[in-house]
């Protein structure tokens, strides 16, 4: 089934079920008021949500038109957002950037960081930054939303805890990455609010595209109407979602509603072909710049600037955006501290 969270003037919004064709929606508030409430009692709540989804799909309920502009992030605030690093080629490319840590990659265990989760951005919320010169970048990722995971969980337990999938934009301020990492306390200022697609979707909807704990779909990013990248999230994901969850739960329990990111989707391709001719491109600007530096001696692709539009969607075999679309405009809040 497909779920979303609509704006209702409250911080956690209102849970709705969305039809399989993403055209209609119906309130789920008689079953669970919010997505977090549904995840807290998933075993009891999900059959009722699923029945409502079936009724909506069968036309037994008319519902209302679904509009992404009315959506908050599926979890507008979450109790945990962990971003993993499943794709090693992303790390390799980004870490070779000037100023970044060039420590040897750990391929035995995935890296991950604790992200801020108190205000996750709606799919059509602006990317608000105080300063255009901070090297504003996007990172297109797949994200899994989890049920509770006990400390020390094994791979099978981790696999069973995956409830829902979506895509997200882990907005990054590259100029602050170096400071954050050199401070030694990890990402903080470099990672403002992460944005999420409007829809979260249960695993049964993906058929064979969900296998081996990986989502085998292209994650397409457009910058100002041009395709910037379309790597396949199922390809070159060295650590699958269960690997990431096992690592996250090494020393602690993970609460219901924990969101875990795949890391920036990244394929190990040779970068010859432009995306308009079917080339793969990149799911963040930093990777493109690294490859350009190696190839041309200097980075050509600029970071995002005020007014730039960025759209991210996972595309299924029909060409449809299975989670709907992230659609953000970069906005500079010039005098925030004035």
Residue 113 binds to its own copies (criterion: CB under 8 A): yes
What is the maximum span of the chain, computed from C-alpha positions, in angstroms?
A: 61
- Residue 255 near residue 146, CB atoms below 8 Å: no
Residue 129 binds to its own copies (criterion: CB under 8 A): yes
Residue 255 binds to its own copies (criterion: CB under 8 A): yes
Residue 44 C-beta: closest distance to its own copies, Å? 13
Contacts to its own copies from residues 272-291, by CB under 8 A: none
Which of the stretches 72-80, 196-204, 213-221, 303-311 binds its own copies when contact is defined by CB under 8 A?
72-80
**Binder to its own copies among 45, 48, 111, 223 (CB under 8 A)?**
111
**Binder to its own copies among 15, 32, 52, 78 (CB under 8 A)?**
78
Q: Number of residues interacting with its own copies: please give it, by CB under 8 A.
A: 57
Contacts to its own copies from residues 10-69, by CB under 8 A: 10-11, 40
Distance CA 115, CA 248 (A): 13
Distance CA 91, CA 189 (A): 19
Return the closest-CA partner of residue 264 out of 105, 123, 94. 94
Distance CA 84, CA 78 (A): 16
Distance linking the first and last C-alpha atoms of the chain? 46
**Binder to its own copies among 32, 135, 176, 330 (CB under 8 A)?**
176
- Residue 68 near residue 195, CB atoms below 8 Å: no
Residue 87 binds to its own copies (criterion: CB under 8 A): no
Residue 77 C-beta: closest distance to its own copies, Å? 5
**Binder to its own copies among 250, 295, 300, 305 (CB under 8 A)?**
250
Which stretch of DSSP H or E encloses residue 167?
strand 162-169
Block residue for tokens 């030694």: 184
Phi first, then psi, for residue 3 (nearest 5°) are -130, 155
Q: Which residues bind its own copies (CB under 8 A)?
A: 10-11, 40, 77-80, 85, 101, 103, 106, 111-119, 128-130, 134, 150-154, 173, 176, 180-190, 192-193, 248, 250-258, 333, 336-337
């Amino acid at each position: 089934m497909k779920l979303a969270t609509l704006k209702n003037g409250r911080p956690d919004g209102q849970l709705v079920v969305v039809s399989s064709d993403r055209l209609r929606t119906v309130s789920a508030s008689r079953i669970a008021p919010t997505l977090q409430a549904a995840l807290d009692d998933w075993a009891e709540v999900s059959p009722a949500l699923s029945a409502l989804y079936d009724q909506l799909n069968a036309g037994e309920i008319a519902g209302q038109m679904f509009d992404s502009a009315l959506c908050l992030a599926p979890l507008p605030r979450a109790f945990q957002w962990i971003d993993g690093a499943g794709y090693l080629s992303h790390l390799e490319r980004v870490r070779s950037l000037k100023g970044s840590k060039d420590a040897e990659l750990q391929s035995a265990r995935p890296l991950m960081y604790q992200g801020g989760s108190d205000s996750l951005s709606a799919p059509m919320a602006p990317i608000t930054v105080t300063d255009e010169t901070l090297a504003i970048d996007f990172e297109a990722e797949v994200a899994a939303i989890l049920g509770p995971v006990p400390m020390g969980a094994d791979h099978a337990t981790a696999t069973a805890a995956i409830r829902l999938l979506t895509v997200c934009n882990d907005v990054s301020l590259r100029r602050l990455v170096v400071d954050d990492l050199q401070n030694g306390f990890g990402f903080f200022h470099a990672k403002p609010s992460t944005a999420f697609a409007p829809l979260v979707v249960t695993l049964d909807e993906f058929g064979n595209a969900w296998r081996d704990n990986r989502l085998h779909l292209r994650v397409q990013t457009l910058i100002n109407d041009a395709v910037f990248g379309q790597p396949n999230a199922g390809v070159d994901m060295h650590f699958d979602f269960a690997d990431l969850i096992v690592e996250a739960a090494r020393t602690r329990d993970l609460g219901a509603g924990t969101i875990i990111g795949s890391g920036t989707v990244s394929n190990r391709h040779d970068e010859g072909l432009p995306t308009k001719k079917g080339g793969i491109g990149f799911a963040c600007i930093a990777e493109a710049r690294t490859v350009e530096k190696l190839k041309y001696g200097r980075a050509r692709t600029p970071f995002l600037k005020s007014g730039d539009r960025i759209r991210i969607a996972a595309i299924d075999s029909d060409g449809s955006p299975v989670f709907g679309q992230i659609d953000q405009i970069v906005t500079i809040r010039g005098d925030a501290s004035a």
